[in-house]
Structure 1
Amino acid sequence: MTETRQRHMTIDLCLRIGELLLSSGAGAADVVATMQSVARHLGLRNANVDVTFTALAMSWQPDPGEPPVALLRNVVQRDIDYEDLSRVDHLVRQILDDSVDLAEARATVARVSSTGHRRGRAKVTLGWGAMCAGVALMLGGGALVCVIAFAAAAAIDRLQSAMARRRLPRFYQQVAGGAVATIIAVVTASLDPSLDPSLVVTANIVMLLSGIGFMGALQDCLTGFYVTGSARITEALLATAGIIAGVSGGLSFAHVVHVDVGRIEQWHTSLQGVALIALGAAICAAGFAYASHAPKRTLVPVAALAALALVISRAIQTGGFGATWGTGVAAFVVGLIAWTLSRWFSVPPLVIVVSAVVPMLPGFSIYGGLSQLGGETATPAAGILSLVTAASISLALAAGVILGEYVAQPVTREARKLERRLAGPRLVGPLRAKAGGR
């Protein structure tokens, strides 16, 4: 292989790795750092990487007197696949450990990007259904409400998949999802007046919110990638606006047919109620992780962390600190713990973090705001306040998680150094443990 050909292949490998990371929701700063680490290890020091929402560019100049080598790659938006994300993360670690050469690494990336999802579509639909059933349980719904939420989630997933195949924009997919969720709840409530349709609608709102990349958008803005962050925020706002449009249309339909959609007034406060909240949060997080193709080994830790986070959030809210602070503190705990869990289970922290915070998404506030804005007894001021609360909760989720990651990484490094200093003589095993190994 000539030197020029090797340079081009190295840059192409870095761009393909970056594309998979960025399309899976990774922040621009993480993408740049990963690409530069791989390029430096393969012999291209001081490579320049430029990331935008739809394109990646990388250039390297061997000498000021020579022309630079530059390549550009468009970022194709793909379905979230945490299995592929984990495989790419493992590949990067193997490259940095010299376990694979350039040719083998390129072949692995090609296989990851060209093969479809390992988990079938029917299984993904079941995952979304379990997630919404978990949210309904978390909000206090009975068995019938959980079954209806499950069925509505399956219908929404199938509908959005059909619309995606026809290349309809995400905004219209969200409008259709919100409308279908509300109409299904209204129809079932008209057949059974004892049913509370608000629980079904809220559960499906959380499902629709879970696919919006607030985490990556805020991370890009905090780390200085304002162009990419602005584009991601715009995409997130449009997707959220689609949910609001769809749900408000469904609520208008409910008022026309004179069906009381109800409002969720309060959460469980008893010990048994808190246990149901934790169980519902665990099912919700595990269902989302499964539907997002996360490795099966992560489902139990994700469920446990989500249950812990929601209990912390509810405890803080009960203490009078408000939903935003409770959510922010719980998200910080998630970010702090997820870093360690990701190393134990050999997955990127993003897989655990996003799945664990899904039960805390502000579906309750969005539904409350929309129900207060419409109807004969509309209270616009309260409705607007609820929507603003939803926005603040989303911001607190993303900011808390990112702060937790910032704190966890240096603390983990210093703890590892202290462990090596205090370990004493080893009687079994190697003298020095390999970094990151367990």
Structure 2
Amino acid sequence: MLQPAHANAVAKNILRKLVQGESPPTAPMKIVDRLAGSPYANFTIQVGKAEESARKTIDFALHLAETMFRYGAGALEVETSIIAVTAALGLRHIEVDITNQSVIINYAPRDAVPITLLRVVRSWTNNYAGLVAVHELVTDITAGGVSRDEAYRRLDVIVKKPKPFPRWMVAVAEAVFAAAVVGVIGGTPFGMIVALITILLAGQTARVLGKWRVPDFFVTAISSFIVTIVAVLCFMARVPLSPSVVVAGGILLMLPSGRLVSAVQDAINGFPVTAAGRFLSAFLSFGAIVAGIAVALVTGALFGAERLNVAETINSLLPLYSVLGLVAVATVAICIAEQTAVRLLLPTVAVALIGYLVYYLGMYWGLGGRFAPAVAAVVIGMLARIIALRLGAPQLVVAVPSIIFLLVGLSIFRAMFVMTLTPEESITGFVGLFNALIVILAVAAGVVLGDNAARPFTHIKGTKDRRRNRRR
């Protein structure tokens, strides 16, 4: 039987643990705690292989981070990869700072001279297949089976490896995507053909301008001008198609929907500077699109064309099975345009179709234009994490192509178009912009929530391995 004094001490200790938790409430979080829930939570530390050559290890980590950013990775994925790689290669006392286009790593061991290195990302490219290869490399490093020198060699191979699809196939895929979108949002077969030809023309023009180092803002504006002027010419020639459908389908490929969702995800995950940079870049793209459309409409008016309402809401009359077929075709096309690994094409199509079905059922059951996309995004986020990690890929490469048909970019485009070209309806434009931002926030939060909700189903190695981060 416990003595009264001892019983009081035990009770106080239990109460203190309930109030304070296992660690003091003001204790700072260790940087490796950022790996909790990530695919690299069970890393293996290689003792004595990094402390003597910390500079080379940090150089490798920066090169890895730059490659991931260039290929389209989010800030959280880049940060967790850096932390996992440096920890697995034996470096302690690491701090990482990520902004929109730069990565800083500070290494400050006790009783030694600190090292701070910076890497700036100056170019971007679509290469989801390369991102998958980098993910596999980081996974192998954290498993303890790859040395730093071998990791350097493998990363160089990834960077120099050709993309899985040639340029001509990417150009055709972009045009096919636009044609499929026109079909999904209510266009006729003839409208799909017009959209395909228009995007081929705009794509080739954009590639020429890119070779001339023209800023992306003007490239986007000229591309949207080409799409709109073709629609205006068809309208002037009394061609039986809806100009708004052609414009909407043509610009959907230019809309920075994925960038907007990534910006919100970065803000949710604790990277406000990166999120602000991506938001600014995305809204500049919207401004370029609206500018190109405005110039095309004014040009058409000079030659006697009526002012078109290219931002009107469009409702598809196709049966569900036809829409699902077009969604599947468009998802394959956007995967080719993003240079996704071939083995991920069918899984991504499956996730996109399931996500669209959830969205369709949500709208049918009356969830509304705000809640239905959020529910679909949660399902897409969960499936993308489970399927992607089991196939050795990051969640991003499956989730981003799958959310395209939630059409979060079209709502912002319509709002900005109304605000710019119809000043008398500015209030309507502001309300539309606010509603569009709410939908984008809901979709991005849904993808992040789905990613987190799927974590219990992706701990393949179990809790025993999580406790067994032993040194080798």
User: SS in structure 2 opposite 1:294?
Assistant: coil
Structure-2 residue corresponding to 1:207: 253
C-alpha distance after superposition, 1:309-337 (max 9, x if no partner): 22322332233332122111111111011
- Following superposition, the deviation at residue 83 of structure 1 comes to 1.1
Q: State which drifts further: 114-123 or 34-43.
A: 114-123
**In structure 1, what is the Cα distance between the partners aligned to 2:319 and 2:414?**
21
Are 1:304 and 2:350 an aligned pair? Answer: yes
Match of 1:58 among 99, 105, 120: 105
Distance in 1 between the 2:417 and 2:54 partners? Answer: 58
Work out whether 1:291 is the aligned partner of 2:353: no
Deviations 1:245-289 (A, max 9, x none): 2223333344443247466555246xx522222222222222111
- Following superposition, the deviation at residue 3 of structure 1 comes to 6.6
Equivalent position of 1:25 in the other structure: 72
Match of 2:315 among 267, 282, 304: 267
- Residue 13 (1) aligns with residue 99 (2): no
1:430 is matched with: none
Question: Which residues of 2 match residues 386-397 of structure 1 at below 5 A?
Answer: 386-397=432-443
Structure whose CA Rg is larger:
2
Distance in 2, Cα, partners of 1:366 & 1:158 = 26
1:375: Cα distance to partner? 7.9
Tell me which amino acid in the other structure corresponds to 1:203.
G
| Shift in Å, 1:2 | 9.5
The match for 2:88 among 30, 41, 59 is: 41
Which amino acid is the alignment partner of residue 108 of structure 1?
A: R
Q: Which amino acid aligns with 2:82?
A: M
After TM superposition, the structure 1 = structure 2 runs for residues 359-378 of structure 1, keeping only pairs within 5 Å, are 359-366=405-412, 368-369=414-415
- Find the partner of 2:453 among 407, 412, 416: 407
Query: Percent identity, aligned pairs only?
Result: 25
TM-superposed CA distance for 1:240, in Å, is 1.6
Cα–Cα, structure 1 residues 368 and 193, in superposed 2: closer, same or farther, change >3 Å? farther
Contact 2:381–2:447, Cα closer than 8 Å, also in 1: yes
| Corresponding residue SS for 2:403 | helix
Partners of 1:138 and 1:277 within 8 A in 2: yes
Residues 4, 129 of structure 1: alpha-carbon distance in 2 compared, 3 angstrom cutoff: same
CA contact (8 A) 2:198 2:227 kept: yes
Letter in 1 for 2:315: W
Unaligned runs of 5+ in 2: 1-47, 465-472
Distance in 2 of aligned mates of 1:235 and 1:374: 18
CA 10–218 in structure 1, closer or farther in 2 if over 3 Å, else same:
same
Q: TM-score, normalised by structure 2?
A: 0.80
Question: What is the SS of the residue equivalent to 2:87?
Answer: helix
What is the number of equivalent residue pairs in this alignment? 415
Q: Is the 8 A contact 1:159 1:177 kept in 2?
A: yes
Deviations 1:167-216 (A, max 9, x none): 22222222112111111122223334311121111112210015751232
- 1:341 match: 387
Q: 1:73 to 1:417 in 2, by over 3 A?
A: closer
The reply on whether 1:355 has 2:406 as its aligned counterpart is no
Structure 1: gaps (5+ residues) = 421-438
- Structure 1 SS opposite 2:104: strand
Aligned to 1:209, the other structure's residue is in SS state coil
What displacement does 1:290 show? 0.7
Instruction: For 2:441 and 2:290, locate their aligned partners in 1 and report how far apart those are by CA, in whole Å.
Output: 18
SS at match of 1:71: strand
d(CA) in 2 for partners of 1:144, 1:378:
34
* Aligned partner letter, 1:33: T
Does structure 1 conserve the Cα–Cα contact (< 8 Å) formed by 2:258 and 2:400? no
- 2:138 alignment partner in structure 1: 92
Q: CA distance change for structure 1 residues 405 and 212 in 2, over 3 Å: closer, same or farther?
A: closer
Taking a change above 3 Å as real, the CA distance of residues 60 and 366 of structure 1, as seen in their structure-2 partners, is closer
How far residue 226 of structure 1 moved from its aligned partner, in angstroms, is 1.5
Q: Following the alignment from structure 1 to structure 2, what is the Cα–Cα distance between the partners of residues 3 and 360?
A: 46
Asked if the contact 1:205–1:363 (Cα under 8 Å) also holds between the matched residues in 2, the reply is no
Structure 1: how far apart are the matches of 2:198 and 2:409? 15
With 27-36 and 372-381 compared, the bigger mean Cα shift is at 372-381
Residue type matched to 1:8 in 2?
R
Mark the CA change 1:212 to 1:277 in structure 2 (over 3 Å): closer, same or farther.
Answer: same
Q: Give 1:249's aligned residue.
A: 295
More moved, 234-243 vs 298-307: 298-307
Cα gap change, 1:24 to 1:376, in 2 (>3 Å): closer
Deviation at 1:387, TM superposition (A): 3.8
Measured in 2, the distance between the counterparts of 1:369 and 1:330 equals 23
The answer to whether the aligner puts 1:155 opposite 2:218 as a matched pair is: no
Which residue of 1 is the match for residue 231 of structure 2? 185
1:164 positional shift: 2.2
Whether 1:119 and 2:165 are equivalent positions in the alignment is: yes
Q: 1:247 to 1:276 in 2, by over 3 A?
A: farther
Question: Cα deviations across residues 42-87 of structure 1 (Å, max 9, x unaligned)?
Answer: 111231111112221112233x211023322111222121011111
Please tell me the residue identity of whatever aligns with 1:339. R
The aligned residue for residue 426 of structure 1 is: none
Whole-Å separation in 2 of the counterparts to 1:85 and 1:8: 24
Q: What TM-score does the superposition give when structure 1 sets the normalisation length?
A: 0.86
Residue in 1 aligned with 2:186? 140
Residue 275 of structure 1 aligns with an amino acid whose one-letter code is Y
Kept in 1, the 8 Å contact 2:164–2:341? The answer is: no
- The residue matched to 2:186 in structure 1 has which SS? coil
